[in-house]
Amino acid sequence: MSTKANVRVRPKEIEHEIDEKGFFVRQNNYFATPFGDGEGKLPVEAGRYRLIWAKGCHWSNRASIVRELLGLEEAISINLVGHGRHEQDLGWEFIYDENNVDPVLGVQFLSELYANADPDYPGRATVPAIVDVTTKKVVNNDYVWLTNYLENEFAAFHKPGAPELYPEHLREEIDKYNDYLFDNVNNGVYKAMFAQSIEAYNDAFEHLYAAFDAIEERLETKRFLFGDYVTDSDVRLFVTLARFDTYYFKNLGPIRNRIVDFKNIWGYARDLYEIPAFKNNTYLRDLAKSDKKKTGIFLDYNTRFWDQIDFEKLWSQPHGRQEKSSDPTQKFLTKARGISS
């Protein structure tokens, strides 16, 4: 285990991100310098950055999906972190690498890279984190805009025929809808799970299911959130849907519906899962696996059944969503040609 002084115990959300009424208030993104040209921006260069993400974290999962969709594998390297077992919670660790050390960055814990960037950084070391490999410092952890930077600022490094996930004529609408998804769905599940008062829980629960109902209605006539083609918003919704029935449900109390109980949402989720970049970056069995060893009669659902469920078969069932599209054989708008591909 690393013995460096900048390896820190992970701050707890329920101690540092709960307001006086028991509502969860997520910490701000500390490293939010945008990518782009000009003074005060992070230079856009191939090979300079490394994306750190985690299988269980949907904020980071969406960046890993977009990176693959756009063909940025050569431009931006990547690595996974997870939770190791220590006496204290030391946060995200490079548990999948030899000796638990990232082979490019030479550190064991993500918090070391945060400390390299700011020794006085007070918050949780979160993913996604974009690390400058030349300095071994976190330079951006702004999950709100990160996929948009990959879609727009890194366009010069996209693969030929890369999908247009953030089309200019829809950007204002996509941004507005992404805010709605964040408040009610993406962060909504956490506002319910971390709520420390019944008032806060009920508020989050009601907003979450009101949003699911609205999305279910929206998807009645649309194949994807903005019509015939996948956009940035679909990536953001998918990563929460993938975790709802596999993991979130057990911390949400008596849920009203599972994702599989929504006809349109469930078909939509499977439609997206067919896309290799979505499937390759979605570890359903890992999400469902219980992280605690329990014995006795009363075992939670995941502990009993996670290794008996055929997630691949479940998520690969026919969905029939093509009939809602005017271009049923295609799921993407091609960036280069401006037509479907």
Question: Residue 2 burial by CB count (10 A; 0-12/13-18/19+): exposed, middle or buried?
Answer: middle
Active-site choice (30, 57, 247, 273): 57
Mark whether 180 is an active-site residue: no
Active-site choice (149, 166, 190, 273): 190
Q: How far is CA 83 from CA 30, 110, 211, 274, 329, in A?
A: 22, 11, 31, 29, 41
DSSP string spanning 232-295?
HHHHHHHHHHHHHTTTGGGGSSS-S--GGG-HHHHHHHHHHHTSHHHHHT--HHHHHS-SS---
Q: How far apart are CA 3 and CA 315, in angstroms?
A: 43
CB 89 within 8 Å of CB 15: no
Residue entry with tokens 């999906």: 65
Task: Give the containing element (helix H, strand E) for 296.
Answer: none
Those residues whose C-beta lies under 8 Å from the C-beta of residue 282, and which sit 6 or more positions away, are: 61, 65, 239, 242, 273
- Short-list 180, 289, 288, CA closest to 236: 180
59 backbone dihedrals φ, ψ, rounded to 5°: -60, -40
Task: Give the containing element (helix H, strand E) for 66.
Answer: helix 58-69
Q: How far apart are CA 162 and CA 69, in angstroms?
A: 7
Mark whether 114 is an active-site residue: no
Q: Which amino acid is at 148?
A: N
- Spell out where 94-201 has E strands: 129-132, 137-140
CB 93 within 8 Å of CB 84: yes
Catalytic residues: 57, 190
